Chains A and B, each alone.
Chain A
Amino acid sequence: MKVKVIVTLKSGVLDPQGKAIQQTLNGMGFANVKDVRQGKYFDIDIDESDEQKAKLSAEEICKKLLANQVIEDFKII
């Protein structure tokens, strides 16, 4: 089954790319954009029919490789 994972920077961790995007948007006329945080999205196809088992695998995958938990959080959706 397919599992979707989103990895984002923890709040409080500096995100220079997000900041640059926000400033660019402001410059383009989107004056109402107050903050942008950039993240990563993964589509993972796991050879597993049991949803619970697939999500457990995904969690381990996130902890061991996809997210660096010093600065990043992950969400399995």
Chain B
Amino acid sequence: MNSSVIIFPGSNCDRDMDVALKKFGFKNKMVWHDDDKLPKSDLIVLPGGFSYGDYLRCGSIAGKSKIIQSVIDFANSGGLVLGICNGFQILTETGLLKGVLQQNKNIEFICKNIFVKVNNSENKFFENIDKDVLELHIAHNEGNYFCTEDELKSLEDNNQIAVYYCGSDGKVDDKSNPNGAIKNIAGIFNEKKNILGMMPHPERMIDQSLSGEDGSIFFENLLKNLK
């Protein structure tokens, strides 16, 4: 399976994602934001980081970069797109995903392990995943997901909420909400479920000696679903 990771000025999880994708068998290519064509890919990843120094709004400048039109065309033709952290912010800024990531409610940069509950596994990203509660890592200042009431209703009606912040037992409550995100939302899909944006970083949880291995479950499963 071929994947491509887009690098923007200020991306800083691009190489971690490259390592993770290759570890689980993807043939990955790095793509510069100023290119206008994507290599042949089964998966496009917008990585975490601080593209353009988070100027104006997180992800807003990257959302207008040269490569983005190709990413939008790829996504609209059904291609699989994954946006992690800043990548999620970029996806909302391009309009591929609904809503916006606002500043964390407590005005603090949050860097810690959290748990997410998989809400919808009828898609390439989570189908047949062994665990429905995953321990992942978050590191962000703007992860407080917000959308209008109408948008929230349509996300819920179309089963577009991918993952919720939860406790280690899978319970979704205020206590397990790290950043004030509406309804504990940690990640969402587009209507067709071929685009996933989420704040937690699975690529940081692929080695037991570093952190944990629930990210490995995510990548292994994703590759299996794509084959």
Residues of A within 8 A of B (CB): 13-14, 16-17, 20, 65-66, 68, 70-71
Decide if B105 touches A16 in the complex (CB within 8 Å). Answer: yes
B106 CB–A CB distance under 8 Å: yes
Count the B residues whose beta carbon is within 8 Å of the partner chain — how many?
19
29 contacts between A and B (CB under 8 A): A13-B102, A13-B146, A14-B102, A14-B105, A14-B144, A14-B180, A16-B104, A16-B105, A16-B106, A16-B107, A17-B103, A17-B107, A20-B107, A65-B56, A65-B60, A65-B64, A66-B56, A68-B57, A68-B93, A68-B100, A70-B99, A70-B100, A70-B146, A70-B147, A70-B148, A70-B151, A71-B100, A71-B102, A71-B146
Q: How many A-B residue pairs have CB under 8 A?
A: 32
Q: CA of A16 to CA of B103 in the docked complex: distance in angstroms?
A: 7
Q: CA of A13 to CA of B101 in the docked complex: distance in angstroms?
A: 12
Residues of B within 8 A of A (CB): 56-57, 60, 64, 93, 99-100, 102-107, 144, 146-148, 151, 180
Q: CA of A13 to CA of B148 in the docked complex: distance in angstroms?
A: 10
Q: CB-CB < 8 A to B99: which residues of A? A: 70
Q: CA of A17 to CA of B148 in the docked complex: distance in angstroms?
A: 21
Measured between C-beta atoms, what is the minimum distance from A14 to chain B in Å?
A: 7
Q: CB-CB < 8 A to B180: which residues of A? A: 14
Q: CB-CB < 8 A to B151: which residues of A? A: 70
The 9 closest A-B pairs by CB, nearest first: A16-B107, A70-B100, A71-B100, A16-B103, A68-B100, A68-B57, A20-B107, A16-B105, A71-B146
Q: CA of A16 to CA of B141 in the docked complex: distance in angstroms?
A: 12
Closest to B100 in A: A70
- Which residue, of A14, A17, A66, has the highest number of chain B Cβ atoms within 10 A? A14
Q: CB-CB < 8 A to B64: which residues of A? A: 65
- Which residue, of B102, B104, B148, has the highest number of chain A Cβ atoms within 10 A? B102
Q: CB-CB < 8 A to A71: which residues of B? A: 100, 102, 146
Q: CA of A17 to CA of B103 in the docked complex: distance in angstroms?
A: 9
Q: CA of A13 to CA of B180 in the docked complex: distance in angstroms?
A: 12
Closest to B63 in A: A65
- Which residue, of A17, A20, A71, has the highest number of chain B Cβ atoms within 10 A? A71
Q: CA of A1 to CA of B148 in the docked complex: distance in angstroms?
A: 36
